[in-house]
Structure 1
């Protein structure tokens, strides 16, 4: 645990400047709220509660943000419809962040009713988009598309280009989840174009999404292009979250391309950024909670000076809050330690998997090479033997013919016919093919069985012979010489064989055979 607290202290020192800035913002907003309350201006009080809620939302303390937004609603009356709709949308978004989608829809539907009644197109468009997001998170994509399309129509009518860009991205994400990648690309491209024209940092996320889609459709070149663009923009805007996403996506793409070293490098960078982000965000949250605690402590001390009879209650509140902070710190410490241990185990398992894959690949290549050497050796031996036998037959035939020529009184016809039969027998292929198939099946015992199973029609013995010769990767000319046919006949036979096999139009027949 010592290393955790050391890192935590280092992180705290690094964030010290930012924490002072956050403190000053909080105290500024708190002072403005107190001033508005003193003035008694209802609308201004609500605005300051919203401002404080936005501050809590920015540091991801959503429960405190919701509390401030509800405080704003409590002081408003029905005359402030636009502000009410806006606050309800903010509460809806906070509940989305807390994954409480049912509660989020409750507030978003209230905002929609107000916006429709008062014709507040901007808030209505935002509410419909957020409502679509809640359904997307729950996997109800039809409902999600319905509300996102309503939002897109409203933003289009209002000519709100930023809103149009955001909703197009949302719709693209839904189609990506549905694996309808062409539609997803269309909406992401529209969003990217608008964000680019607006020079808005929202373009970074869209570029990452485009990279995701191209990776999922196995167009790794385009995937790399868009993800690298996202990475450069994230570096330009100093957006840590988008930097994490870009490195994570690059790791996935490199892994699919077989470049495991690059995949590992980007995965390590991603985890480092994620770890830094974890520290940074939690430090901001803890600093904000500490500021709230300090503020409440000071308010309690002032109350103590005014009302001595409430000392006991104030101390009790401080104690409870201190225990809460202690539990929170302890929980974060345990969570990070456990998470770091699991991530280290994952990296080690990943490295072992890479090593095993490499060893398996080499073993397969070695076996394939041995099989081909054995088969070719057996084939060469057999054909060498055949050549010797035929040469011997030709020599014996020549000798017999010379003897016949020297015996003028003997009728040569019966002997010549006998020689012809012997030559035909020598040229017969059946025994040779039986021995060849015996050799072949020793090397590829499942070839004929698997090929026949995949064929759409029964294969003849001639087609099986052609298939075996193609499996040896012989040329049409070599096959023609072995089968004692013309190369044109081989091409016709290849065509007929191809028609009986489930081969893609662009796939080579030889490549198909090499699968078995």
Structure 2
């Protein structure tokens, strides 16, 4: 019976974290350096390279470092832009070692986006260029990335071939860190194939190098070793390694690894029949996952705001320089005019004509400056709109997360009720307790509070405008329905979030429509979006 409950609990975990994966997050920047300071430092280094040196390789390195920083924050578009700037400096010279690193980094960005075709195209170019330059280090890295791409697509034979070639190169180079990482990658492939003994052997080889390094890599390999024991049915040993990973993650304050360790502990305790501990660790994993997402979103917004402010200051400085040039030109013109009046009175008429022409040119220049300023403001407005769209996408993902979570809890509740209704079973009391606990969780409104906070940040005036448009006061339920329609969600999705039937949603939409000054031919969703 305990094994049955363990399988049921693991199914729940796999629904919430499919295929044992987690959201791809960067390291916890708040525990080390503030994103704004890091950006300013890298930007200053790039500007210094541009102003103090004509060496294009140094400028390309500055763009490369900025691109790598954007990649760690999940700002993939900005990362690709910086890498392309670097390639422009190098002139796309495949014989330049820095070109190989740039190509490899671009491939990593596309791999993070699961665009395997483009990622492998860049990794293959890196591989060929490395062979041509006899650069075994970059060749080993390119093969490792190709193996990772094949593994993500389930092409395990190809993945193993690439990783084994990469391992041989690292061994030839005497690169112990590269060997450790490749051992771990090979262990991951064997784990996917269900060959847990082989997986453990490779994870253990990686751990021999990473032991007591107090690094994120050590935490990761400890979790992997714990997984291999758990999947072989050795729960006690699996628990020991996962607890070690949790302890080290706490010391390093690594949110991603904390989430991973708690999630693995939840699975282990579920299989051991300790469902209370399994539930506690599952809740903690969800808590760290939420904190990790908030941290990444905060870091991204901070950096985007810093970039915007930096660009704005640069534009202001450039404008002041142009104004200074105009002022200097006016002063020179005045001296010429005074000199001309004092020395050559005879050509006064000609001089006045030239002066009028100069004024016209200045006016035209000012008009061009004004147009440039308007164009700059338009660009700034588009950037702000993109930021709002980013947060709107985050809010939509959050609302879908609510929907998915509620559906999972409802399905589990119904399943457990059916089990209670069956005869000849002595687990009714326990099942009823679980049903009560799940129903209690469904009544919590914490998610709605967080949803309201996110929504008000993106659409601060929406609720106020919607309330003013209605002659009769709108109920909280009608305001919630309006907010979900503003996110362009379907009736089915809204029904899942509000925990009602789709028919109830249609009735609620009809009642809300009657309270609003909306044309009969206009869609209610379009009306909400245009508010």
Q: Which residue of 2 aligns with 1:22?
A: 35
| Among candidates 113, 129, 148, match of residue 128 of structure 2 | 113
User: What displacement does 1:294 show?
Assistant: 2.0
Q: Which residue of 2 aligns with 1:74?
A: 88
Pairs within 5 Å for 1:52-131: 52-77=66-91, 78=93, 81-131=96-146
Q: Which residue of 1 aligns with 2:251?
A: 236
- Rg bigger for which structure? 1
| Among candidates 31, 38, 41, match of residue 55 of structure 2 | 41
User: What displacement does 1:350 show?
Assistant: 4.7
Could you tell me which runs of 5 or more consecutive residues in structure 1 were left unpaired when the two chains were aligned.
1-14, 367-516
2:233 is the counterpart of 1:218: yes
CA–CA distance in structure 2, aligned partners of residues 334 and 79 of structure 1: 42
Q: Which residue of 1 aligns with 2:278?
A: 263
| Among candidates 155, 174, 178, match of residue 189 of structure 2 | 174
CA–CA distance in structure 1, aligned partners of residues 211 and 425 of structure 2: 50
Asked whether the equivalents of residues 260 and 354 of structure 1 are also in contact (C-alpha less than 8 Å), the reply is: no
Asked whether the equivalents of residues 136 and 144 of structure 1 are also in contact (C-alpha less than 8 Å), the reply is: yes
Asked whether the equivalents of residues 247 and 269 of structure 1 are also in contact (C-alpha less than 8 Å), the reply is: yes
User: What displacement does 1:175 show?
Assistant: 0.7
Per-residue CA deviations over 1:427-468 (Å, capped at 9, x if unaligned) read xxxxxxxxxxxxxxxxxxxxxxxxxxxxxxxxxxxxxxxxxx
2:373 is the counterpart of 1:311: yes
Q: Which residue of 1 aligns with 2:149?
A: 134
User: What displacement does 1:333 show?
Assistant: 2.4
CA–CA distance in structure 2, aligned partners of residues 353 and 71 of structure 1: 56
Which structure is higher in RCO with an 8 Å CA cutoff and minimum separation 6? Answer: 2
Q: Which residue of 2 aligns with 1:292?
A: 307
Asked whether the equivalents of residues 214 and 248 of structure 2 are also in contact (C-alpha less than 8 Å), the reply is: no
**CA spacing shift, 1:248–1:57, aligned 2, 3 Å:** same
CA–CA distance in structure 1, aligned partners of residues 238 and 30 of structure 2: 38
CA–CA distance in structure 1, aligned partners of residues 256 and 33 of structure 2: 23
2:203 is the counterpart of 1:188: yes
Q: Which residue of 1 aligns with 2:393?
A: 331
User: What displacement does 1:120 show?
Assistant: 1.1
User: What displacement does 1:52 show?
Assistant: 0.9
User: What displacement does 1:344 show?
Assistant: 4.9
Per-residue CA deviations over 1:188-227 (Å, capped at 9, x if unaligned) read 1111111116554312111111222222222211221111
CA–CA distance in structure 2, aligned partners of residues 365 and 103 of structure 1: 53
Q: Which residue of 2 aligns with 1:497?
A: none
Asked whether the equivalents of residues 155 and 164 of structure 1 are also in contact (C-alpha less than 8 Å), the reply is: yes
2:206 is the counterpart of 1:144: no
Q: Which residue of 1 aligns with 2:224?
A: 209
CA–CA distance in structure 2, aligned partners of residues 182 and 192 of structure 1: 15
Aligned residue pairs, count:
352
Q: Match of 1:99, SS?
A: coil
CA–CA distance in structure 2, aligned partners of residues 62 and 184 of structure 1: 32
User: What displacement does 1:183 show?
Assistant: 1.1
**CA spacing shift, 1:84–1:318, aligned 2, 3 Å:** same
User: What displacement does 1:278 show?
Assistant: 0.9
Asked whether the equivalents of residues 304 and 310 of structure 1 are also in contact (C-alpha less than 8 Å), the reply is: no
User: What displacement does 1:345 show?
Assistant: 4.9
CA–CA distance in structure 1, aligned partners of residues 282 and 170 of structure 2: 38
Asked whether the equivalents of residues 73 and 296 of structure 2 are also in contact (C-alpha less than 8 Å), the reply is: yes
Asked whether the equivalents of residues 155 and 161 of structure 1 are also in contact (C-alpha less than 8 Å), the reply is: yes
Asked whether the equivalents of residues 94 and 100 of structure 2 are also in contact (C-alpha less than 8 Å), the reply is: no
Asked whether the equivalents of residues 19 and 284 of structure 1 are also in contact (C-alpha less than 8 Å), the reply is: no
Q: Match of 1:179, SS?
A: coil
* TM-score computed with the length of structure 2 as normaliser: 0.62
User: What displacement does 1:35 show?
Assistant: 2.1
Pairs within 5 Å for 1:430-469: none
Asked whether the equivalents of residues 204 and 233 of structure 1 are also in contact (C-alpha less than 8 Å), the reply is: yes
Per-residue CA deviations over 1:325-353 (Å, capped at 9, x if unaligned) read 12222222232243245335535655776
User: What displacement does 1:271 show?
Assistant: 0.4
Q: Using the TM superposition, name which of 131-140 and 188-197 deviates more.
A: 188-197
CA–CA distance in structure 2, aligned partners of residues 365 and 266 of structure 1: 24
Asked whether the equivalents of residues 81 and 114 of structure 1 are also in contact (C-alpha less than 8 Å), the reply is: no
